[in-house]
């Protein structure tokens, strides 16, 4: 196949769906190589039925007179009546007619917005349906100034592609091009993105390219979108490398470009790429990212693509020149698991592989903990080394939708540990050199669970989902209640209570998060990057020292205590003075009072003693030094063989 043909097919894929041409015409195009004949049936504002003409590559197309708001179905081989796989809107649900949308009608106000590189992001993950009482795109907008003032720079939306019913996490989407109607549809999403940009916030969108559905997924009737060669836990795998897979690949790439071009989305988070299977010479993840970056260059914007994966495979984020896929970053589950096990003591499931402070130290310095050694949970070696991978390629957290919602009771960390440990978890994430992510409500200790919920209409599927949820946790020895995902109460119980952030003790935790995020902005040594200038070591089996060097001799030292009792930590530090920026035990953060010294003079370096409370964190800063001589002493004193800082 020549380059011209490939370009032609990509051009066909780029404008699939119903495209309003702006002159009283609508162009329809669909990939349906499994059909001999495809017709478009207009059902609103009038009724008519017109055959599409077959074109190259298995596509069918036609242009008809019509306007935005026109509703239609495709008729496959004179029988099946189906919504458009690339519907821009599904106003009556995933089984109803598609609606043509004028993508040029919205008056954007973000002409000067240039996106945001991943390294500049402090990500706030939220679910549209439970973030506010209203559960809509519009209802998020009044909250944006509060997120900005907290120190958030990017809002990550859990999937918003159309799903069956009224409530869902979003990972069961089937209308990949159509924002969910109950959230506010296309117009609501555009208004939210525009408002985010007006507040200086980037928008990350979670997209699902490992499966569709199951309910409302009709793509298999159009052509070979799926394959039986691989299996996923969630549904049929997408056909990325089998016979006639070009159309399925182009469909997914077109969807990624659609969010960026038509909705001004700033970044894509690819869900569970370990469920994306592709043995092609050029992996679909590389091809998708290449297409996104070409579009980003044409638009003059930064559009990082980030993956979620449990493979610990550096190829995802390695540059193409090194044989990688070239993505901007990926989530590090290992970092979360280290913090969670140290704070909760849990060791079931994949937590069996974690629990030591030494592992957390490795997560700080490397990114992955498992980089080739044996995993007890998997029963085999796991992961690849990442010590040389820049810190800005990793997204880390203490909570996210998966780690909360995939518990039987949907408990947040707030329900599992005490108040001081919540502040320690915040510190562990925000003194790291990685891109931090917060899960909605985490910043003030939201009490509501985040349960798994769905609203399938098929009775058989309803029963299967409810039964499967119970059986899943029973297999792990869980004997307690498992809330029914189909019960509307599971959704209602998961909504945030925004009034808590102004009450105590929640207000103290909120102030602690805001303080740490402010310190990251104010002092670059506490911000993103700098793995090569990072040292982490254990002061004892429950106390971790995180030492970071910045420019011009600036440095920061964090002492993290993962134990229910405090202690005096004796450590050797480079020349000072070292000024305390924050102690999680301070009364302003709801603690009993800090005992750590406000200032450690140390004009020539040496031994110092820091009193640290139970489950506490203390952060010190050394300002820039004046002379090259002192700078040389500092560089020498923090060399790895000098074991600085160290405990007696």
When pLDDT is averaged across residues 585-589 and rounded to a whole number, the result is: 98
CATH code at 264? 3.20.20.80
CATH value at residue 26: 2.60.40.10
Residue 179 shares a structural domain with residue 257:
yes
301 vs 635: which has the higher pLDDT: 301
130 and 92 share one domain: no
Measured distance CA(4)–CA(287) in Å, rounded: 17
Cis peptide before 101 (omega within 30 of 0): no
Identify the burial level of 545 via C-beta atoms within 10 angstroms of its C-beta, where 0-12 means exposed, 13-18 middle and 19 or more buried. Answer: buried
> 85 and 23, same structural domain?
yes
CB of 237 closer than 8 Å to CB of 277 = yes
> What is the Cα 557 distance to its own chain's centre?
28
Under a CB-based contact definition with an 8 Å cutoff, are residues 301 and 265 in contact?
no
Which among 173, 187, 273 has a CA at the least distance from the CA of 232? Answer: 273
Per-position DSSP letters for 553-583, written without gaps between them: G-EEEEEEE-SSS-EEEEEEE-SS-EEEEEE
Evaluate the omega torsion of the peptide bond into residue 577 and state whether it is cis, within 30 degrees of 0: yes
User: CATH no. for residue 579?
Assistant: 2.60.40.1180
**C-alpha–C-alpha distance, residues 524 and 534, integer Å:** 13
Q: Does 109 fall in a domain?
A: no
Asked if residue 398 belongs to a domain, the reply is: yes
Percent share of the chain, pLDDT over 90? 88
Q: Which of 35-44, 124-133, 306-315, 470-479 has the lowest mean pLDDT?
A: 470-479
CA Rg, the chain, in Å?
26
124 and 30 in a common domain: no
Percent of the chain with pLDDT strictly greater than 70: 94
Domain co-membership, 424 together with 364? yes
> Which band of pLDDT confidence, cut at 50, 70 and 90, is reported for residue 628?
very low
| Same domain assignment for residues 490 and 587 | no
Confidence bin at 474 (pLDDT 50/70/90): confident
Question: Which residues have a Cβ under 8 Å from the Cβ of 378 and sit 6 or more positions away?
Answer: none
CA of 606: how far to CAs of 143, 162, 644, 646, 648, in Å? 48, 61, 10, 10, 12
pLDDT band, very low/low/confident/very high, at 153 (cuts 50, 70, 90): very high
pLDDT at 475: 64
Average pLDDT, the chain: 93
pTM: 0.94
Same domain assignment for residues 77 and 148:
no
Residue 138 makes CB contacts below 8 A (sequence gap 6+) with 184, 188, 191, 192
Q: Is the dihedral of CA 251, 256, 260, 263 positive or negative?
A: positive
Q: With H, G, I as helix, E, B as strand and everything else as coil, classify residue 600.
A: strand
> Coil, helix or strand for 75?
strand
Give pLDDT tens digits for 195-212.
999 999 999 999 999 999
Q: What is the pLDDT of residue 578?
A: 97
Domain count, the chain: 3
**Given pLDDT bands bounded at 50, 70 and 90, which one contains residue 135?**
very high
Same domain, 240 and 160: yes
The answer to whether 87 and 178 are in contact (CB under 8 A) is yes
Among 31-45, 334-348, 350-364, 469-483, which is the least confidently predicted range? 469-483
Three-state DSSP state, 543? strand
579, 618 Cβ separation under 8 angstroms = no
Q: H-helix or E-strand containing 38?
A: strand 38-44
According to DSSP, residue 552 is labeled: G
Mean pLDDT score, 243-263 = 97
pLDDT of residue 476: 67
Q: Which of 100-104, 440-444, 462-466 has the lowest mean pLDDT?
A: 462-466
Q: Is residue 294 part of a domain?
A: yes
| Of the listed ranges 175-179, 284-288, 354-358, 631-635, the one predicted with least confidence | 631-635
User: pLDDT of 290-343, one tens digit each?
Assistant: 999 999 999 999 999 999 999 999 999 999 999 999 999 999 999 999 999 999
Same domain, 377 and 242: yes
* 169 and 34 fall within a common domain: no
Instruction: State the CB neighbour count (10 A cutoff) for residue 344.
Output: 15
Sequence-separated (6 or more) residues with CB below 8 Å from residue 170: 127, 158, 159, 160, 161, 163, 180, 206, 208
Structure tokens at 47: 């009724």
Give the three-state DSSP class for 605: coil
Residue 529 lies in a domain: no
- Measured CA to CA, the distance from residue 150 to residue 507 in angstroms comes to 12
Final residue in a domain of this structure, among 68, 99, 130:
99
Q: For residues 465 and 22, what is the distance between their CA atoms, to the nearest angstrom?
A: 44
**Helix (H), strand (E) counts: the chain:** 16, 31
Q: Quick check: 330 and 309 in contact, CB under 8 A?
A: yes
pLDDT per residue over 483-504, tens digit each? 999 999 999 999 999 999 999 9
What span, in angstroms and rounded, lies between the C-alpha atoms of 464 and 469? 8
> Is the pLDDT score of 101 beyond 80?
yes
Same domain, 191 and 330: yes
Q: Residue 332: which of 372, 360, 301, 355 has the closest Cα?
A: 360
> What is the arithmetic mean of pLDDT over 59-79?
97
Residue 526 inside a domain? The answer is: no
Query: Given CA atoms 5, 11, 13, 18 in this order, what sign does their dihedral have?
Result: negative
Structure tokens at 31: 């990939």
In a domain, 525, yes or no: no
* Average pLDDT over every residue of 111-138: 98
Token pair in block for residue 102: 């004028």
Strand partners, 50: 40
Here the tokens at position 164 are: 């069956």
Is the C-alpha dihedral spanning 476, 479, 485, 489 positive or negative?
negative
Cα–Cα nearest to 395, from 204, 152, 158, 122: 122
- Does the pLDDT at position 626 exceed 90? no
DSSP single-letter state for residue 352: G
For position 481, what pLDDT does the model report? 87
Query: Which residues are catalytic, by number?
Result: 271, 308
Residue 464 lies in a domain: no
Q: Determine the average pLDDT of the residues in 217-246.
A: 96
Contact criterion met (CB below 8 Å) for 612 and 559: yes
Domain extent at residue 587: 535-642
Which of 258, 176, 186, 183 lies closest to 219, judged by CA? 176
User: What integer pLDDT is reported at residue 502 of this predicted model?
Assistant: 94
| pLDDT, tens digit, 9 for 90 and up, residues 548-575 | 999 999 999 999 999 999 999 999 999 9
Residue 552 lies in a domain: yes
Q: Is the dihedral of CA 364, 367, 372, 374 positive or negative?
A: positive
Provide the 3-class DSSP secondary structure of residue 519: helix
pLDDT tens string 5-46 = 344 344 545 689 999 998 899 999 999 999 999 999 999 999
pLDDT average, residue stretch 600-627: 90
Token pair listed for 488: 């509307």
Q: Are residues 89 and 124 in the same domain?
A: no
Which residues contact residue 147 at a Cβ distance below 8 angstroms, ignoring those fewer than 6 apart?
Answer: 124, 155, 199, 201
């Amino acid at each position: 196949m020549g380059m011209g043909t490939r370009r032609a097919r990509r051009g066909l894929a780029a404008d699939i769906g119903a495209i309003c041409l702006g002159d009283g015409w609508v162009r329809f195009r669909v990939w349906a190589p499994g059909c001999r004949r495809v017709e478009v049936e207009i059902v609103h504002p009038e009724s008519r039925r017109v055959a599409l003409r077959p074109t190259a590559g298995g596509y069918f197309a036609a242009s008809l007179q019509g306007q935005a708001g026109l509703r239609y179905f495709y008729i496959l081989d004179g029988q099946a009546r189906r919504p458009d796989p690339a519907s821009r809107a599904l106003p009556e649900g995933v089984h109803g007619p598609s609606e043509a949308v004028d993508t040029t009608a919205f008056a954007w106000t973000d002409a000067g917005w240039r996106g945001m590189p991943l390294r500049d992001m402090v990500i706030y993950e939220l679910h549209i349906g439970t973030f506010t009482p209203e559960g809509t795109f519009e209802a998020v907008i009044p909250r944006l100034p509060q997120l900005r003032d907290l120190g958030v720079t990017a809002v990550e939306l859990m999937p918003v592609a159309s799903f069956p019913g009224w409530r869902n996490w979003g990972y069961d989407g089937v209308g990949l091009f159509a924002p969910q109607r109950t959230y506010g549809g296309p117009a609501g999403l555009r208004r939210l993105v525009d408002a985010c940009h007006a507040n200086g916030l980037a928008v990350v969108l979670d997209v699902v390219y490992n499966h569709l559905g199951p309910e409302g997924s009709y793509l298999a009737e159009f052509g070979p979108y799926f394959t039986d060669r691989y299996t996923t836990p969630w549904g049929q795998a997408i056909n990325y490398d089998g016979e006639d897979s070009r159309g399925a690949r182009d469909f997914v790439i077109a969807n990624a470009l659609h969010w960026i071009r038509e909705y001004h989305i700033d970044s894509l988070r690819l869900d569970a790429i370990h469920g994306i299977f592709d043995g092609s010479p050029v992996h679909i993840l590389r091809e998708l990212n290449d297409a996104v970056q070409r579009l980003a260059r044409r638009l003059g914007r930064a559009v990082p693509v980030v993956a979620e994966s449990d493979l610990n495979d550096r190829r995802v984020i390695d540059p193409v020149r090194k044989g990688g896929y070239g993505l901007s970053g990926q989530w590090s589950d290992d970092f979360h698991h280290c913090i969670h096990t140290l704070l909760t003591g849990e060791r079931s499931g994949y937590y069996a592989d974690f629990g030591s402070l030494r592992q957390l130290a490795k997560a700080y310095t490397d990114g992955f903990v498992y980089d080739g050694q044996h995993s007890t949970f998997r029963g085999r070696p796991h992961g690849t080394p990442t010590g040389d991978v820049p810190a800005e390629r990793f997204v880390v957290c203490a909570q996210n939708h998966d780690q909360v919602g995939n518990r039987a009771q949907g408990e947040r960390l707030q329900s599992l540990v005490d108040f001081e440990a919540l502040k320690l978890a915040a510190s562990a994430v925000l003194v790291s050199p990685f891109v931090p992510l917060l899960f909605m409500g985490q910043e003030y200790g939201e009490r509501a669970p985040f349960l798994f919920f769905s609203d399938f209409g098929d009775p058989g599927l309803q029963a299967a989902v409810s039964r499967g949820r119970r059986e899943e946790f029973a297999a792990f020895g869980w004997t307690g209640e498992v809330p029914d995902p189909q019960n509307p109460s599971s959704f209602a119980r998961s909504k945030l209570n925004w009034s808590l952030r102004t009450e105590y003790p929640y207000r103290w935790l909120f102030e602690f998060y805001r303080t740490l995020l402010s310190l990251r902005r104010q002092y670059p040594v506490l911000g993103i990057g700098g793995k090569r200038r990072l040292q982490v070591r254990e002061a004892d089996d429950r106390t971790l020292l995180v030492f970071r060097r910045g420019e011009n001799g600036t440095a920061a030292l964090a002492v993290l205590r993962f134990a229910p009792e405090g202690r005096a930590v004796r450590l050797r530090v480079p020349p000072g003075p070292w000024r305390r920026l924050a102690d999680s035990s301070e009364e302003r953060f709801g603690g009993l009072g800090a005992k750590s010294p406000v200032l450690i003079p140390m004009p020539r370096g040496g031994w110092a003693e820091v009193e640290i409370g139970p489950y506490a964190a203390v952060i010190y800063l050394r300002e820039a030094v004046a002379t090259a001589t002192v700078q040389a002493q500092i560089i020498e004193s923090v060399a790895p063989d000098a074991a600085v800082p160290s405990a007696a």
